[in-house]
Amino acid sequence: MESGTSRSAAGGSPARRRAATEAIDEARAGSARLIESLTRLWDDVVEASALVANDDEHDPEGATVAFERAQLRDVLKQAHADLDALEGAAERIRTGDYWICEHCGGPIAPERLVARPTARTCIGCAANAAAGRAAR
């Protein structure tokens, strides 16, 4: 952690901590609802494909059941990853690390956390990481 930056200073007031917790809780509830909905869709697609014995790979009318399953699987996987990231953010709020960049130890701007509640790095470190990935 950068000298001079304490968890309490970075975390701010109890009101700010409460607001962050509420935002994370709301996003977690939304992710859980999305996962529930996607799981029902997945179950419906799997059930529908089990009931039909035709060859959907050559259906000129649209996407194949396999394609739909692959899309749903990937969206569901991302929804679970998003929920995991939100769980991590909730834990960082509890420990006081939510407002501290994991890379440089400096503060993460409140505006960044409002826009991206699961951010683990400050804007500067995120930009440096993106530039490094782009250079590869």
**pTM of the entire predicted model:** 0.78
Describe the crossing of helices 65-95 and 14-51 by its angle, rounded to 10 degrees. Answer: 160
**Which amino acid, one-letter code, is at 80?**
H
The Cα-based distances of 71 to 7, 38, 39, 76 in angstroms read: 41, 11, 12, 9
pLDDT tens sequence across 72-94: 999 999 999 999 999 999 999 99
The structure tokens listed for 133 are 């990935």
Number of alpha carbons in the 13 Å side-chain half-sphere of residue 65? 15
Alpha-carbon distances of 53 from 57, 101, 103, 110, 119, rounded to whole Å? 12, 54, 54, 55, 46
Six token digits for residue 27: 């996003």
- Residue 13: the pLDDT is 81
Mean pLDDT (the chain, rounded): 86
Instruction: For residue range 2-32, list pLDDT tens digits in order.
Output: 444 445 455 668 888 999 999 999 999 999 9
Nearest to 126 by CA among 136, 112, 110: 112
